[in-house]
A and B are shown apart, each in its own frame.
Chain A
Amino acid sequence: VTHPAPPATIRLTGTARVWRFAAVVAFLGLLAAGTYSNTDDSFPVGPLAQYSTSPDLDAEINSAYVLADTTDGTRVRVPLNATGTGIGRAEVEGQLGRIIENPELLEAIANAYAKLHPHRPQYTHLYLMQDTTDLEDGRAVGPKVTRLLAEWEVR
């Protein structure tokens, strides 16, 4: 069996080559600067910081969530995700200090829920909660401690 020779390679011209290498150098430079900046603020060239903070083996593990009283008299866990409220749990945790100082921000969660789910029972009162588990040599010890960080009566 004979095969046809592959068609001739399409080469890059001098200019096309130069800007491509300049672009690579520039992008890698930005990426290096973003990595060095060590803050997610540098997105899209920020540090690839997924799970990059390793807690101490004796640290405490915090997990925040939001509870709500609703118009039909029940207390529910607020869905902190894209389709529930548009606000993710990590986003709440990323702005925890800001919410504790300005609990009226919790109203935004109730409002977003109301606009996304107008026909469901609405939130009347929101509670920002945090569970804490203690670690000892990398092992969870003792019961979970639950704390109320902030609350807000929805207007």
Chain B
Amino acid sequence: VTAVARWWTAPVPLARVALLRAVLYPFVIVDMFLFVNDVVPHGYAPEFYKPLLIGRILPLPTPTPTLVQVLQWVLIAACLVAASGRLPRLAGWTVAVCFLEWLIIGMSYGKVDHDHLALIVAVLVLPTVGRARFRDPTPSEAAGWALRCIQLAVILTYFLSAVAKSIRSGWPWGWANGAVFVWAISRRGSDLARNLLDHPEVLRLAQWGLIAVELLSPVVLFLKGRLLALAALFFLSFHLVTYLAIGIHFLPTVVCWLAFAPLERLLGIGRRAVPATPAPTTGEGAARDDVATSGFTTGAQTRTH
């Protein structure tokens, strides 16, 4: 239990949280205008509004053009404040509540997107860290917990999708042996991808590869350094190929891969410090070593203060 607890709260520099906020909160605005951008237009087609389970349990108001426009402006303002690091809890919780409502409305017209799990978790956990300054190298367990939650949500996006595929088709191989890629490409494939329709066996092989990778994805949580960077690169390439083939980008998940990166190094923070005394192996200081190892470690860390 202690090992699990220590893994969940391995300390991370507060600067990493500040930088992640500076990326993810503006991304929420981008998301509103480019991806889940049908919320305001949906206000004009109330006939198609079909509330989800959560909308039927909670007393969420039926969306009207006025309601969604107010929601939009509150969300934009809260995102800008939260991205700057000011009022991390107030602005952060406002984003969390409003963005969830935004997504719930957006998904209540007959189609649900599956690329938002990690971003939802991110807006829910980022406020819990509280104040985090951009140049603060202080390792924090609260920051570590938040980052770990986002990392887990990213990985679960793949792993649980393999589970869903297995549930729907009976077994993983039921999905892998079907015609799902042919189906996807013939409905919305690019010209590039359409060439593959003449080679269904190649597509079936790719289906086997994909579900295998998804089932193995939890391994990424325990990788470090170069291996972690390679794994991240692999998954990001997968999204690029999917985008080129069928126009599906999964950017809300892609951007959350940043939770695996030692962002604070961009500001020259967090290079493994040479301890003046031998690192203690027990007691308060023992966990310090976790700090530098919880992100990519590259060979090119020659910057000095």
Contact = CB atoms under 8 A, between A and B. Distances in A.
Contact of B157 (A16, A48, A82): A48
A83 interface: yes
Nearest to B46: A108
Interface stretch (B18-26, B81-89, B159-167): B159-167
Contacts of A140: 182, 186, 197
B167 A35 contact: yes
A112 B45 contact: yes
B110 interface: yes
Nearest to B49: A108
A109 B275 contact: no
Contacts of B179: 54-57, 59, 135, 138
Interface string A82-110: 11011110111111000000000101110
A38 B167 contact: yes
A10 B275 CA distance: 18
Given A7-B137, A31-B160, A61-B187, A17 B9 contact: yes
Give the size category of A's interface with B: 35 or more
B252 to A, nearest CB: 12
B191 to A, nearest CB: 15
A79 to B, nearest CB: 11
Contacts of A133: 186
Interface in A40-92: 40-44, 46-57, 59, 61, 63, 81-83, 85-88, 90-92
Interface residues of B, number: 86
A7 B138 contact: yes
A63 B163 CA distance: 26
B275 A5 contact: yes
A40 B273 CA distance: 48
Contacts of B116: 44
A3 interface: yes
Interface string B153-196: 00011101101110111000011111110111011000000000
A85 B41 CA distance: 7
B145 interface: yes
A53 B291 contact: no
Nearest to B291: A6
Contact of A139 (B52, B178, B198, B284): B198
B110 A90 contact: yes
Given A6-B291, A9-B139, A91-B48, A86 B168 contact: no
B178 A9 contact: no
A41 B52 contact: yes
B174 A54 contact: yes
Given A49-B168, A138-B200, A94 B110 contact: yes
Contacts of B120: 44
A93 B112 CA distance: 12
Contact of A111 (B8, B42, B45, B274): B45
Contacts of A22: none
Contacts of A44: 54, 100, 103-104, 116-117, 120
B295 interface: no
12 contacts: A6-B138, A6-B291, A9-B11, A12-B142, A40-B112, A41-B52, A51-B165, A54-B180, A59-B179, A61-B183, A87-B42, A135-B179
The 6 closest A-B pairs by CB, nearest first: A54-B178, A86-B41, A138-B200, A94-B110, A82-B38, A48-B161
